[in-house]
Amino acid sequence: MTDSLISLAPSPRAVEIAARVERFVREVVVPYEQDPRRDHHGAPLDELVYEMREHARAAGVLTPHILPDGSHLTQRETALVLIKSGLSPLGPLACNTMAPDEGNMYLLGHKATAEQKDHFLKPLVEGRARSAFFMTEPSEENGAGSDPSMMLTTCRQDGNHWVVSGRKTFITGADGASVGIIMARDEAGGACMFLVDLPDPAIRIDHVPNTIDSSMPGSHATVTIDNLRVPASQMLGEPGEGFKYAQVRLSPARLSHCMRWLGCCIRAHEIASDYACRRMAFGKTLIEHEGVGFMLAENLIDIKQAELMIDWCAGVLDTGSLGTTESSMAKVAVSEALMRIADRCVQVMGGTGVTDKTIVEQVFREVRAFRIYDGPTEVHKWSLAKKVRRDWREANA
C-alpha cells in the first residue's frame, strides 16, 4: 500500500514546472485580462497572444508540457501544469497550452514524419504559429459532428497530390491559423488526414459566428474547401487511417480541456470566496449565511472530485491505452462539475457575478460551451450506455 501511494505522488519536475507556470499566470497574465486588444466577439487578438508569449518565453514557461528534447510530460504531469495555466482564460494562450494547438501538437508528435515535424510541428511548439483541426461539418448538410463516420468532405488521389473538397464548421482558430489538419473521406470509405499551410486560396472562410465563449483567437469558423491540392508527402500517416488517428488525439484533448477549465474554475472560486468573505449583508459577511457558505463548500467538493477524475484518466492514458471510455467518463463528470462551480460563483457574487468586472462571468460562458465541445454530455453517456450493454452481452454469452 505504501509503494502504491508513493507512486501516485506527482513528480518533482512536474511540481516545479507547475509552480513556475502558476507564478507566471498570476503575476504576468492576469493583468492582461483587462487588455482591450480583442476582436468584435471579445476574443484576444493575435497581437495580444504573441506579446504574452514573448513574456512566457522569457520566463521559461512557453509550451511547458513539451520538454527541450521534444518529449512530452506524462499525462498526469501535464495535468498539474495545464491546470495552473488555466488559472486565467488567457493563461493557455500565453503558455501555448491552448486548444486546438495542444492537441494538434500531441497528434503531430505521435504520427508526423521527421520532415512534417520540422515544417508543421516546430513552429507550433515554438509558439510562433497557431493551428486548426478541420473535422466538424455543418449540421444543416447532415455532415460529421459528434459522429465522424458521417463525414462528407472528400479526398481523391491525383498523381502525387490529393484533392480535397467539402465544408467544415466550428473550426476553432481557423481565422489566423498557419497550420491546418484536415480530415476527409477517401474513395474507399476510410478517412485521411492532411497537413496544410494556411491561409490557402482553396480554403475560404465563409462565416465566423459569435458564440457564447470568447477565449479562442479566430473563434469557430465555417469554411469551404474547394479542390484543395495537397502534396502526398503532407498526408499524416497512412491513407484510410484518419479515424484511428483522431482517437489518438481526441481522448487526450478532451482531458486537456478538463485540466484548463478546472484551473479557471479554481480561480473563479477564489474570486467568489474573496467576495463572500468581504461583502456584508444582513449584519454579517455573506459566507456566514449558510445559503452562501454551503455553495462554496460544494465548490470545494466538486473541485476535488474533478481533480481526482482528471488524475485517474490521465493515469489510464499513461499506460498507453487510448482511454476512450475513461476520457468519456472524465469529460462528462468534469464538465458537469465545472458548470456547477461556475454557476455557484456567479450566484454568490450576485449582480457583480454577471458583469465583466471579474472573469467569473466569462468562466461561466466558457464552461457552458465545454459541455458541448469535444462531444456533448449526452453523446458520451450514450456511448457509455452502449458499453454497459456490450459488457452485459459478453458476460451473459
CA-atom Rg of the chain in angstroms: 21
Range 58-91 burial, b when 16+ CB lie within 10 A, else e:
ebebbbbbbeeeeeebbbbbbbbbbbbbbbbbbb
Respond yes or no on whether the N-terminal peptide bond of residue 68 is cis (omega within 30° of 0): no
Give the CATH architecture of domain 243-395. Up-down Bundle (1.20)
CATH dotted code for 2-98: 1.10.540.10
> At the topology level of CATH, where does 131-236 sit?
Butyryl-CoA Dehydrogenase, subunit A; domain 2 (2.40.110)
| pLDDT at position 1 | 30
pLDDT of residue 5: 37
Residue 395, Cβ neighbours under 10 Å: how many?
A: 7
Identify the pLDDT of residue 144. 86
The reported pLDDT for the residue numbered 40 is 86
The per-residue pLDDT for range 202-219, each reduced to its tens digit, is 999 999 999 999 999 999
- Following CA atoms 29, 347, 266, 7 in sequence, which dihedral angle do they give, to the nearest 10 degrees? -170
- Cα separation, 331 vs 146, in Å, equals 14
Q: Within 13 Å of residue 82, how many CA atoms lie on the same side as its CB?
A: 31
CB 43 within 8 A of CB 217: yes
Tens digits of residue pLDDT in 98-146: 999 999 999 999 999 999 999 999 999 999 999 999 999 999 999 888 7
Per-residue pLDDT of the chain (397 residues; tens, 9 = 90+): 333 333 467 899 999 999 999 999 999 999 999 999 999 889 999 999 999 999 999 999 999 999 999 899 999 999 999 999 999 999 999 999 999 999 999 999 999 999 999 999 999 999 999 999 999 999 999 988 878 889 999 999 999 999 999 999 999 999 999 999 999 999 999 999 999 999 999 999 999 999 999 999 999 999 999 999 999 999 999 999 999 998 888 899 999 999 999 999 999 999 999 999 999 999 999 999 999 999 999 999 999 999 999 999 999 999 999 999 999 999 999 999 999 999 999 999 999 999 999 999 999 999 999 999 989 999 999 999 999 999 999 999 8
Q: What is the pLDDT of residue 9?
A: 78
Sequence-separated (6 or more) residues with CB below 8 Å from residue 172: 99, 100, 132, 133, 216, 218, 219, 220
- Residue ranges of domains in the chain: 2-98, 131-236, 243-395
- Name 117's Cβ contacts closer than 8 Å, sequence gap at least 6: 108, 109
The pLDDT value recorded for residue 8 is: 65
